[in-house]
Structure 1
């Protein structure tokens, strides 16, 4: 599965994104592109299939979208909403009403929201302390947004492995 374009981080800076957030923006956009490429024609009936007791492709798509949404709330120094807690409680549960395309689109939309947030931040904001979760664990705005990006990349890798086991590549 060849991609004619270089990876996102090799295409130059993303306009209006602060320099310190360029790597996170590149990683999120790379995740979007890879998910779309890997899941072209992915069969709906395999979306919630677990392999070797590991998470399904559907879970990975739900989870990275939810984590990105939650990290953005924490980065804005907001508590999670009831809607976010509800989404979190359903992550991992098969949602037969959602298609592969809908789950991919949801992550792509959340990534665009994140990039819009990135454009509003300056270096001073990136260094501000932020609390995470009910335990109010310490982080910073930059730490939260970097985590969202690297976390997405990790799950894209896991998604690819799961997809490759479910649908072995043709040689």
Structure 2
């Protein structure tokens, strides 16, 4: 357990190599990564696929966090999803005994790193550029997609936090 708690990322100053207008996205992704890795420390592996009160499992949230970052950042690059990404989407939340917490965290951490790398190479002049989302090419912008990636990540981080706490508490009874 950490003995010295640092301030949240948005209070630590700019993230090196990230454009100024994209700092909030980077801060949210780094904050989520810190909180998720901390909350998953010593998580009982037998609870990974449990769905308390019918809600999404811890495994689903970890899979979805990784997948949604990959998908939204792909759209931000004006690319469409490939078959591997579509297959990943279909598999999110489907119980698989070969999947473990360490694997899910490693995948999420790598995806955050890839997202930060993409942010660092995103030209601020492109932020208001149109981006079509999905097969229907629903309208968005680069900044809209990147902001949604950050807020969606934080939404699932909060849901994951509650799910982990409930499962741990119920497991200790």
Question: TM above 0.5, one fold?
Answer: yes
* CA distance in 2 between partners of 1:96 and 1:10 (Å): 39
Quote the offset at 1:133 in angstroms: 1.0
2:53 aligned counterpart, secondary structure: coil
- Per-residue CA deviations over 1:111-153 (Å, capped at 9, x if unaligned) read 1001100111111111111011111110011111111111010
Report the Cα distance in structure 2 between the residues aligned to 1:100 and 1:8, rounded to whole angstroms.
24
d(CA) in 2 for partners of 1:95, 1:120: 36
Mark the runs of 5 or more structure 1 residues left unpaired by the alignment: none
For residues 63-142 of structure 1, the aligned pairs below 5 Å read 63-142=64-143
Matched residues in 1 for 2:18 and 2:164: separation? Answer: 32
Give the equivalent residue in structure 1 for 2:34: 33
> Higher mean Cα deviation, 38-47 or 119-128?
119-128
The secondary structure found in structure 2 opposite 1:77 is: coil
Aligned to 2:88, the other structure's residue is in SS state helix
Work out the CA distance in 1 between the residues paired with 2:96 and 2:147.
28
- Work out the number of aligned pairs and report it: 170
Tell me what 2:157 maps to.
156
- Whole-angstrom CA distance in 2 between matches of 1:121 and 1:75: 9
- Unaligned runs of at least 5 residues, structure 2: none
* Cross-structure match for 2:7: 6
Q: State which drifts further: 97-106 or 61-70.
A: 97-106
TM-score, normalised via structure 2 length: 0.94
TM-score (norm 1): 0.95
Deviation at 1:102, TM superposition (A): 1.1
Q: What is the rounded CA distance, in whole Å, between the counterparts of 2:118 and 2:124 in structure 1? A: 13
Alpha-carbon separation, structure 2, partners of 1:104 and 1:165: 20
Runs of 4+ in 1 over 6 A off after TM superposition: none
Q: Aligned partners of 2:109, 2:10: CA distance in 1, in Å?
A: 17
